[in-house]
Every structure is written in structure tokens, then in C-alpha cells.
Chains A and B, each alone.
Chain A
Amino acid sequence: MSRRRVVVTGLGLTSPVGGDVASSWEALLAGKSGVRHLTADWAQDLPVQIAATAAVEPTDVLDRVKARRLDRSAQFAMVAAMEAWADSGLADGGVDPERLGVAMASGIGGVTTLLANYDALKEKGPRRVSPLAVPMLMPNAPAANVGLYVGAKAAVNTPVSACASGNEGIALGTDQIRLGRADVVLAGGTEAAIHPLPIAAFANMMALSKTGSGESDADPTTVSRPWDVARDGFVLGEGAGVLVLEELEHARARGATIYAEVLGTGITADSHDIAQPDPEGRGGSRAILRTLEDAGISPGDIAHVNAHATSTPQGDIAEGLMIHATLGKYADEVVVTSTKSMTGHLLGGAGALESIATVLAIRHRVAPPTINLDNLDPAVELDIPTTARDLRAGDIAALNNSFGFGGANVAVAFGSI
């Protein structure tokens, strides 16, 4: 029996550059940054005072009473899932609930709810800890709330692998459909960690750029600069993306709009260090090779790579090495993009946002630019356009890479269909 094929039939997104898919995609193609100064009082003593905050507050979109029962990460997940679900056309009984699943990832979970309740505990006593704290802060709360919204009765899962989580959600959703355990899975990731504690923690491990904060008067929109010689760390972002994954024949039978096919996925671990990437990117290379093998495609089929490239000194170079190690002579021909130059790093939401950008690049045959790339690091030999670049006609595939603390590597290959 031939393997069940998985396609993308719905998209939903809320990001630092737009409150939905259309506005985010338009901003990405135009090279618009979502990085801003943090003007709140709580940010003024922090070592980092910029972030890519959501373009649209989720509480402006969601019902007030429902929103107050959700951590911000679940609010983002719900906004993205509602758009994706409507976009898929499945809402009116288009799928058997027992064949409907969710794979909604998060890197950190409901951290702002946890910390707000700890503040209440310290300042006002245990009576003031919310009775909703646990169902709000648990890492599977975004997945569970999305599952309740669509009525999913197959598996409702939450993969957690730091900044690779969003891609792992897509890989898990793809597996569930291939294994015959579901016909439709809402897959993606969410994150809402723009809070003094995560900012201080990331800054103290020297992962965040300090440019644009404190004494620096740099424009925040110029700080996230993957592969540029002046890059000095990532910019924290927030938001969520959801892809409706559907078994190909199920989608065809109902005449669904098919954006792209999930051709293959690859998951590996570095086994190198808890936080540092393998300097030669060997774990990431193995993830890409597994993805090509799983997809049954050759390096020459890849027209575009949406890179993980977070704007850190080591990571961006390692990913360049991976692309050369895996695509060989075709590494010079692929159009490489880091949308994080505009969105910052959504951590557990990154893989989902960037998979949506990859799917749309295939569908519209245009790759978003990488902004702020004024002087390409000489250690990186890649074709990285600084304005939107058309992709070739015909059958094409594109890769989305995500790598996370713990040495997690997840690549996903999408293809035209």
C-alpha cells in the first residue's frame, strides 16, 4: 500500500508583522520589521528593551470572557487556529471528529500566567492564586483549547523541543495522518514569553542582542540581522501559526484548496550540548538529509530554504555549513531567507510561522527577503536576497529548518502540488 500523502489546506497566523496570514505575508514580502521598543515600565531596567511584539493584541480579537481564561500563548494559538479552521472550509462537518487531531507546540508554555500567579501569591497570599492557573499555564493548554474549539477527538498533542517545537508539531501531525490515526490535524506552534524573566534569562545567557537597548540608540528594526557581520544575538518575538494538515484524498474528495504538500520531515538530536549548537551543524545536516530521504527528493528539487538563522554569531554560520553539506552544488542555487530578520524569534512559534511563509513562497513563487543584511558574513556563502525574489516555475520543493536548545533539529520539506 502506498503511503498516505499529507497536504496543507488551511493557514492561520498572528505575528509581529500582522494579525493574520494576508497582512503578515504582505509585510514579509515588503521587508517590514515587527521589532519595537518595549515602552512599559517593567522593561526599563532590563538589559534588553526591544522585542517583536504581536502586531494585533489577541484580546482585541477574542471574546473577553474566553480570553481571560487563556494564557497569552493560548490566546495566540486560538487566533491562529480560528483563521486556519475557517480557511480550511472544514468547519461545517467536513471531517469526522474522531479523525481530527491537534499538534500544537510551545517552547515555554504559560510562563506569564505562572509568573503573574506567583506575584499574586507573594504579594497577596495563596487565596489570590487563580483557580484557573493550572489549566492556563500547562504547556498543552494551547493544543487543548484548539482541540475544544474544533471538536478534535483524535490525539491532541503538544510537542516541546524549544525553538524547534513548531516544526515538530508539523512533523508529528504529518506522522499522525501518514500512520492512519487521523485525516486532519491542526499543527503548529505558539509562544508568548515577552516578560522580564525570560528576557533577563535569555539576555544573561548572551543569546539576545543588546543593540537598541540601554545606551544604544540603534533603530529596533535594524537589530535582527541574520548573516550580517554586525549581528549579535536574536530578538525575542511572540505569536502563533497553525497549518491545517489533511490527507490528500480526503482533501481532494471535498474539493479543498491545497496550498502545498508536506513532502517529508526529519528529526534528529545533536548529542553535543544543552544550549550550544554543534559548531559544524552536523545534527542539523542529518535532519535535512533525513527530510530529503523521507520526501524522496534530491537537492536539485529544492528551490528555497526558509532558514532558522536567528541572528546569532555561531548559529547562522553553522546553518550555512549545513546547507552546503546537504545540498552540495545546489547550495549556490537555492534562494535562502531568514524571515526572523523581520519577525524576531518566536521560539516555539517560529517553525509554524516560517512553515507558513515557506508554503506561501511555493504557492506564490516568491521568497520573502532578509532585511538588515548590509554586509554578508564572509564565512557564509549563500544566495540571500535582500528584496523579495521570484522562485522558478515547475515542480519545486522548499525546506524549513528549525533548531532548538537541547540540540533538537527538525526540518520540513514542502512541495508544490
Chain B
Amino acid sequence: MASTEEIRAELAEIVNEVTGIPAEDVQLDKSFTDDLDVDSLSMVEVVVAAEEKFSVRIPDDAVKDLKTVGDAVSYIEKAQAAA
């Protein structure tokens, strides 16, 4: 099982790939929209890439509740634990 920090770091790589935002800026307390300026289509790209990377499913209904990087990391941790 990957650690919280490992998941955050890998998610940060995905966000960097999609948006160009430096990976070190993608920290748990950051809001995707307010702090990182990730637009809605980029967010879909990030989610789909994360699903593939972490072998989890993140339904569209869940995506709207993922306000911060920390929200996404904990969702992925729970989804992995349930798998």
C-alpha cells in the first residue's frame, strides 16, 4: 500500500503533466481551482490519469467533492483500501 506522501507525489506528477503546474506546488492543502487554477476539463484529465495510475474508479459525482489535493489523496487511499 502506497503512503499518503507517495500518492501525493504521483498525483503531483499527473497534475504537472496535464497543466504544467510545478509538482512541488501540488500540496495537500491546495485547492485545485482556487490555488492551482486547474480548469474543469483539466480536472477530468487528471482524474482519468489518476484512475489508471492508482487502479481505482473515481465517479464524476465524487469528483465535485475533491476540492483539495488532500481530498483527492484520501479518496484514492480509501478506494485502494476497499479494493
How extensive is the interface on chain B, given as a class?
under 10
CB-CB under 8 A from A65, the residues of chain B are 18-20
A127: min CB distance to chain B, Å: 6
Interface segment, B6-14, B28-36, B43-51, B68-76? B43-51
Query: Would you call A132 and B20 a contact (CB within 8 A)?
Result: no
User: Within 8 Å of chain B (Cβ to Cβ): is A130?
Assistant: yes
* Contact present for A131 and B20 (CB under 8 Å): no
Q: Which of B19, B41, B51 contacts A127 (CB 8 A)?
A: B51
Quick one: given A131-B41, A132-B41, are A63 and B20 in contact (CB under 8 Å)? yes
Q: Which residue of B lies closest to A66 (CB)?
A: B20
* Complex interface: chain B residues within 8 A of A130 (CB): 45
In chain A, residues 309-356, which have Cβ atoms closer than 8 Å to a Cβ of chain B? none
User: Does A3 lie at the interface of the complex (its beta carbon under 8 Å from any beta carbon of B)?
Assistant: no
Once the chains bind, are A64 and B20 in contact (CB under 8 Å)? yes
Chain B min CB distance to A122 (Å): 16
CB distance from A323 to the nearest CB of B (A): 50
CA of A128 to CA of B50, assembled, Å: 12
Q: Taking chain B's interface residues, is the majority helix, strand, or loop, or is none over half, making it mixed?
A: helix
- For residues 127 through 173 of chain A, which have their beta carbon under 8 Å from a beta carbon of chain B? 127-128, 130-132
CB distance from B56 to the nearest CB of A (A): 12
CB neighbours (8 Å) of B20 from chain A are 63-65
Q: Are B45 and A127 in contact (CB under 8 A)?
A: no
A131/B45 contact (C-beta < 8 A), A63-B20, A65-B19, A65-B20 known: yes
Which chain A residues lie closer than 8 Å to B19 at the CB level?
A: 65
- Contact (Cβ within 8 A) A132 B48: no
Which residues 249-268 of A have a CB within 8 angstroms of B?
Answer: none
Q: How far, in whole Å, are A231 and B20 apart by their CA atoms in the complex?
A: 47
**Which residues of chain B (23-64) have a CB below 8 Å from chain A?**
41, 44-45, 48, 51-52
- Within the complex, the shortest CB–CB distance from A123 to chain B, in Å, comes to 12
**Once the chains are docked, how many angstroms separate the CA of A104 from the CA of B48?**
32
Contacts of A63 in B (CB 8 A): 20
Distance (Å) between the CB of B49 and the closest chain A CB? 10
Contact B51 A132 (CB under 8 A): no
**A contact set with B: CB distance below 8 Å:** 63-65, 68, 127-128, 130-132
Q: List 4 other contacts, CB 8 Å, given A130-B45, A131-B41.
A: A64-B20, A65-B19, A128-B48, A132-B41
Q: Which 5 residue pairs across A and B have the least CB separation, nearest first? A: A65-B20, A131-B44, A131-B41, A132-B41, A131-B45
A-B pairs with beta carbons under 8 Å apart, 17 shown: A63-B20, A64-B20, A65-B18, A65-B19, A65-B20, A68-B18, A127-B48, A127-B51, A128-B48, A128-B52, A130-B45, A131-B41, A131-B44, A131-B45, A131-B48, A132-B41, A132-B45
